[in-house]
Chains A and B, each alone.
Chain A
Amino acid sequence: TQLLEQSPQFLSIQEGENLTVYCNSSSVFSSLQWYRQEPGEGPVLLVTVVTGGEVKKLKRLTFQFGDARKDSSLHITAAQPGDTGLYLCASPRYPKLVFGQGTRLTINP
């Protein structure tokens, strides 16, 4: 059962454009993690959001946690080719981690 829905599944844009990807659930998250996975590698944690309404920034990446803690978004400003990869959201369900199906992002030079 997929508890987390990510959209869009695929996104291809030009360098310099802005984009937003979404992660939604019908359940309340205790917290939410965002990972990035590059080709041939395992996922690597970008950020964890914990509090409803929380906003975290990581250089050009802005992560928001919804007030009701049922949704989250990742916004990238002025995308660069190095941002290309698979972006995964994940919700802890101790001792497990439940993943969304991912957004595959391609930034074209």
Chain B
Amino acid sequence: NAGVTQTPKFQVLKTGQSMTLQCAQDMNHNSMYWYRQDPGMGLRLIYYSASEGTTDKGEVPNGYNVSRLNKREFSLRLESAAPSQTSVYFCASSERGQPQHFGDGTRLSIL
């Protein structure tokens, strides 16, 4: 019962570097989400994909891009990392009207 799997779990980048966070779910869910979590801010939605082939901006999309590779996989890319993007990133999936299932997060530090 893997659920939602995120890789990597930890990453340190230098300002200006790029990287892609990977997310895969094995529950056959249509919708997938990327959040960032900062102290005192709860979870803020970066991008989401309501169904395969569609992506939409969330609350804080600037500096990020996403790809819904197939029904299982939804990746988040930082093209030019900035210190303000230091955060914990969570991927989630769900079916319409159902609660979201979360991965265990990627802890990202930008120096």
Contacts and interface: CB of A to CB of B under 8 A. Distances in A.
Interface residues of B, number: 24
Contacts of A45: 99-100
Interface residues of A, number: 22
A interface SS class: loop
Contacts of A43: 43, 90, 102
Given A42-B103, A45-B99, A100 B50 contact: no
Interface string B28-39: 000101000000
Contacts of B97: 92, 94
Interface of B: 4, 31, 33, 40-45, 48, 50, 58-59, 90, 92, 94, 96-97, 99-100, 102-105
Given A43-B90, A95-B31, A101-B42, 8 more contacts: A42-B103, A42-B105, A45-B99, A45-B100, A94-B96, A95-B50, A96-B58, A99-B42
B interface SS class: loop
Contacts of A97: 33, 45, 94, 100
Contact of A40 (B43, B58, B59, B104): B104
A94 B105 CA distance: 23
A44 B100 CA distance: 8
A2 B41 CA distance: 9
A8 to B, nearest CB: 12
A101 B43 CA distance: 7
B99 to A, nearest CB: 4
A97 B105 CA distance: 17
Contact of B96 (A6, A40, A48, A95): A95
Nearest to A44: B102
Interface string A23-35: 0000000000100
7 contacts: A6-B42, A40-B105, A42-B102, A42-B105, A48-B99, A97-B45, A102-B42
